[in-house]
Amino acid sequence: MPATRPPVRPIEALPFWLSLLLLPLLWISALAGGWTLFLVPLFAWVVVSVGDSIAGLNTANPDPDTPESALTLHTAVTLAWPPLQFVTLFAIIGMVAYTQNLAPWELALLTLGFGITTGGIGIVYAHELMHRKSRVERWLGDALMTMALYGHFRSEHLLVHHAYVGTPRDAVTARYNESFHAFILRVLPGCLRSAWAAEKAKLARKGLPVWDRSNPFWRYATLDLAFLLLALIVGGWTGLAVFAGQAFIAIWHLELVNYVEHYGLVRKHLGGGKYEPQKPHHSWNAAHRLSNWLLINLQRHADHHVHPGRAYPLLQTHGPEAAPQLPHGYPLMTLMALAPPLWFSRMNPRVRRWRESFYPEITDWRPYNKLATPLPR
């Protein structure tokens, strides 16, 4: 890693606009139907994965102290996505409900394409926006999350996940040998409970009751209901079904990514309920070029957890000496996670090598494999 790193240039923002290609693909699918309805999943999962194998890895790191004035084009895409997603989602819902040009199976595939877009891309932008200091950007992040009916993710992510990742208190740290299917059944209620408890505790520290209007859960609920009502108004029951379906798929896609990001990685228990500080080796890193363009550097996740306020173009990639490496980018890894035998065969040996490399002194890992139970003190 070079001692002096180059500053980010505005022109370097252009590849990160790749995700916008999904929006015209959705319009083509909705208008033409038939085989075109496979365009979004093929692009997001297959084309990008093949592109990763061709484009290779990007291990170059920018200067993390690059001034914000040089990031205008990078920021612009995060601000452009929320209104573009909103217009695309509800305009297409209204169009297909009004024209009735799609058969039921076509509507199902369109819903899948929507969920991949709002979950695989929209929530990635929401994640970036919720970490920003600007109130406008955080509100845009809330809008994206509630378009997936998952607004409480912000509370869970900022107050719970970032504080307790790699410990039993963090529901979305996937345990060693835990399948994705078991993980999501545990996480969906677990995240809601932990998010509510975190906001309740935050209000209590201010001397406020949980029903105080500053509790963001009221904002999440209001936006959820507003988007559901809008879907019903513009598309009737068909529109409501498509909207609810895409939200389900978006949540499923988000939790697939959560599963991949920390699978089997834990922070060392120091005793007395305390854990070591977060380090890059507590998250999986992926330096695959094309998928990092698509996902605005989300795969540089190890650096994000150490520097959660760092803007996405400034995130650093870490080599194997500092962080464990995924064999593929997120699109292919999430597909692998759907097949537990394949996932375990590829990832469990990597987790075991990670243990030997970073924690050779730990000989009994059984306490760390337990689900949501306190480690021995």
Q: Give pLDDT tens digits for 210-220.
A: 999 999 999 99
pLDDT at 267 over 50: yes
pLDDT at 2 over 60: no
pLDDT at 372 over 70: no
Structure tokens belonging to residue 141: 């992040």
pLDDT tens, position by position, 316-361:
999 999 999 999 999 999 999 999 999 999 999 999 999 999 999 9
Yes or no: say if 363 and 203 are a contact pair by the CB < 8 Å rule: no
Instruction: Over range 17-35, report the average pLDDT.
Output: 96
Average pLDDT value over all residues in the chain: 94
Alpha carbons 46 and 51: distance in angstroms, whole number: 8
pLDDT tens, position by position, 160-174:
999 999 999 999 999
pLDDT at 367 over 60: yes
Structure tokens belonging to residue 282: 């507590």
pLDDT at 53 over 50: yes
pLDDT band at 6 (very low <50, low <70, confident <90, very high): confident
Alpha carbons 75 and 304: distance in angstroms, whole number: 17
pLDDT of res. 175: 94
Share above pLDDT 70 across residues of the chain, in percent, rounded to a whole number: 97
For 163, phi then psi, to 5°, come to -85, -35
The three-point CA angle 251-340-294 to 5° equals 45
Cβ neighbour number for residue 63 with a 10 Å cutoff: 14
Alpha carbons 238 and 98: distance in angstroms, whole number: 10
pLDDT at 248 over 50: yes
If you ran DSSP here, which 8-state letter would residue 167 be given?
A: S
Furthest C-alpha separation in the chain: 65
Alpha carbons 226 and 220: distance in angstroms, whole number: 10
Instruction: Over range 38-44, report the average pLDDT.
Output: 97
pTM (global) more than 0.85: yes
pLDDT of res. 273: 83
pLDDT at 146 over 80: yes
Alpha carbons 160 and 198: distance in angstroms, whole number: 7
pLDDT band at 371 (very low <50, low <70, confident <90, very high): low
Helix (H) or strand (E) holding 275: strand 274-275
Instruction: Over range 357-372, report the average pLDDT.
Output: 82
Q: Residue 325's beta-bridge partner residues?
A: 285
Instruction: Over range 149-154, report the average pLDDT.
Output: 96
Phi-psi region of 328 (alpha: psi -120 to 50; beta: other; left: phi over 0): beta
Alpha carbons 260 and 302: distance in angstroms, whole number: 12
pLDDT at 4 over 70: no
Per DSSP, which regions of 95-208 are E strands? none
Surface-to-core class of residue 260, CB atoms within 10 Å of its CB (0-12 exposed, 13-18 middle, 19+ buried): buried
